[in-house]
Every structure is written in C-alpha cells, then in structure tokens.
Amino acid sequence: MRIAQVNVYFQPFMVGGAEWYVYNISRELVKMGHDVHVFTAAEYEGKKALARESVDGINVHRVPLVIDWSYRTKVWDGLRDALAAEDFDVIHTYDYAQPHSVVAVETGKQLGVGTALTVFDVHSMIPRTWYKRVPMRLLDGYMARRTLPAASRILVRAPNLVEPLVKMGGRAESMRVSPSGVRDDSFGVFDGGEFRERHSIHGSPLVLFMGRLNPLKGPQFLLEAAPRLAAEFPDIAFAFVGPEQSGYRSELERRASELGVSSRVHFTGMISDFTEKMEAYAACDIFVLPTSYEGTSQAIFEAMSQGKPVVATRVGGIPFQVEDGREGFLVPHGDVESLAERMGAILRDGALASQLSEGARAKADGFRYSHLATALLANYEDVRKQNGN
C-alpha cells in the first residue's frame, strides 16, 4: 500500500508526541512492506532540513512554509500539488485544526483517495487564559467544519474525544479509537546510569518529567511539589526533559531558586535519540506528568514500558492509559499537595512501587506499535473500500 502521512513536523524536528508517533508508526508500516511517504514542514525555529530524503525507509517530503506564526498557524507552499503528484492509496493527516489537514482531506476528496484524520486532542477543551481561549475556539470551530466532516475515517486517541468531536461536526460512524503506543524495543534493557552520568545527576530517588517546557504541560506543579518531597527524601533529584517554549525554562529555573531546590533540579533540553530517551526512563523511579490536558501521552506509555510507576493528572485521555492504583496514580490538575502525596507514597513503599511497576509494564505491552500498525492498516483498508479503491 502507498501511504501518505502529513504532519506539521518530522525528523529531525521531534517537537512532541505527534512527531514521535508518526515516525514510529511509519517505521512499523515500512517493516511490513508498505511504501510510506511523510509530508512535513521544511524548517523549525530557523533550522532547515533537506527537501527530500529517506529516513529508516520512510520517504520524507519537506514542504516550504509561506506563513509560520506558531505551531498551529502555518501555511504550506505546494502541499496540495505534492500530494496530488503521487498515486496514494490513502492520505493520513494529523490534527484537525491545522491548515495542512484541510489541504490533505480536500486533496483526497478531489482525487477520490480515502483519508484518515488523527485527533490527538480537542484544542478548545485545553485550559487557557480567556484572551487565548476566544480566538482558539473560533479557529477550532472553523477548521473542524472543514476537516471533520470531510475525512473518511477519524482516529481518536481516547474514547472521551468522540462526543466533543461529534458536536463539532464529526460523524460518529467514521470514528475509531486508535491510541498512541511504544516501540517493541522500548521494553529492552537500558542503562539509566548513562543518563545520570551524562547530565551529572547524582541524587536518588529520581523523579522524571518528559515533555515540552510549557505551562500547559504542568512542569511548574512538579517543581512546587519538590520542597515537600525533599523534606522527606534528602537526596531526591528531579529531571526535566524536553524542549523549551517561549523562554519558560528560565521561569522554572527562577522558581526553583526561590524554592531552594535548584541543586536538585536538572534541565536536560530536548532528547531526540531513542536510546538516550529510554535511558532517561530507565534512570527514574517515578514518571510524572502534571499536564492540564492530554489526548493520550506517548511519554506515559514509554515510561510504563520500562516499568515505571506514573503519577499524572486525571484529564483528557490519561485515565484511558493509567488506571488509578494499578499502573500509578491520578491526581486533580494543579493539586500540588496530592501530587506530592502520591509521589511520596510510591517512594516510601517498595512493595507498592513494585506492584505499580508490574502493572505499568503489562499495560504498555498491549500498546506495542507492531500491534497498532496492524489495526491502523485495517482502518486504511476500510477507507480504501469506502472510496472504491
């Protein structure tokens, strides 16, 4: 099958979970013998990549941008023609509220090619200040009206997304749950000591946050919980792994200094290398994601593949990934006291930590990309049949 994947970024610009998903699922599809092409933006933060290349057998097409105002407001130069120039069996695009998805589904419709649209989260449901929420709702609604009804198949990350998407114009009969997952080799043995040595982390236990350094992801709440844990665990350390956004790292560093925990807090920057990333999970004792909203989290599944207990917020699709008390604990968003209490409970009780570790690894085992790729292909075949291909 000839498959087009369209996402805002791709290698080497691995900005977030969407990029990792497209890369990992595309690798699996290539392994299964399919011809996969990824269409993506040609530049990120002033850095440009080759217009065409092959990455792990994936054919990458990098398209120039006419407008590049933010992650979700980009206008691509020539995406429609680039997609139309290839004879694809299916066009799969990511994020309903971006211009590239409008182009992808409309191009598929014009060519008589089936389209799949993956929805990671509903943007207007994400907590924001009012002056950001109003334009986001307007943009969200406008884009949704153009992409959701036109897509042959809508793939949602978690069941809780179906109802709001139907209200926005999506057809319930076109929706299927298609979660994120983990590479099969994520279950291997990785040397956490390498991660610690590389970033001069000597404290123990180690609490890990992996995600964008953005207030929406909640690293500030983990930082606020740090002094409470340090009072009980004198050698505890905290690692924050992920790309900085809008200078937020300096704000976190300032707050760490005010809280008196600077010596315990380590900011590593973004880690794109798979082995290095897995070494970070292997090094930690707990993985924490105090996010304000999440469709589902790639990082949570990766941490669980290494048998790490998870403490995360009870928002979005996270309860689909983590059952409270089985693979970790869920806490209310912004509740620093609950966050610290749940982390402390795991760190002081070895038996509980082992129980959660076993549950985490078992849960992640059901979300291997090798399994997810087979399910995705079944959706592609349905889409082809719908369009008479």
Domain ranges, ordered by start, for the chain:
2-181+368-386, 184-365
CATH fold for the domain made of 2-181+368-386: Rossmann fold (3.40.50)
Q: What is the mean pLDDT of residues 62-70?
A: 91
Per-residue pLDDT for 185 more than 70?
yes
CATH superfamily label, 184-365: Glycogen Phosphorylase B; (3.40.50.2000)
- Binned at pLDDT 50, 70 and 90, residue 269 comes out as very high
* Cβ-contact 213, 251 below 8 angstroms: no
**In the chain, what percentage of residues exceed pLDDT 90?**
79
Looking at residue 387, what is its pLDDT?
A: 75
Residue 346's identity, in one-letter code, is I
CA 186 → CA 167, 208, 241, 270, 306, distances in Å? Answer: 37, 17, 17, 18, 7
> DSSP state, 67?
E
Residue matched to tokens 């300032």: 254
Looking at residue 108, what is its pLDDT?
A: 96
Distance CA(272)–CA(293), nearest Å, equals 23
Looking at residue 296, what is its pLDDT?
A: 84
Per-residue pLDDT for 254 more than 90?
yes
Considering only 23-32, 194-203, 287-296, which range has the smallest mean pLDDT?
287-296
Within its chain, how far is the Cα of 21 from the centroid?
7
| pTM (two decimals) | 0.84
One fold for both 2-181+368-386 and 184-365?
yes
Distance between first and last Cα of the chain: 11
61 - beta bridge partners?
39, 52
* Cβ-contact 134, 358 below 8 angstroms: no
The pLDDT tens digits of the residues spanning 335-379 come to 999 999 999 999 999 999 999 999 999 999 999 999 999 999 999
Per-residue pLDDT for 14 more than 70?
yes
207 - beta bridge partners?
238, 286
> DSSP state, 54?
E
Per-residue pLDDT for 326 more than 70?
yes
Helices (H), 47-174: 79-84, 99-111, 130-147, 162-167
- Binned at pLDDT 50, 70 and 90, residue 15 comes out as confident
Per-residue pLDDT for 127 more than 90?
no
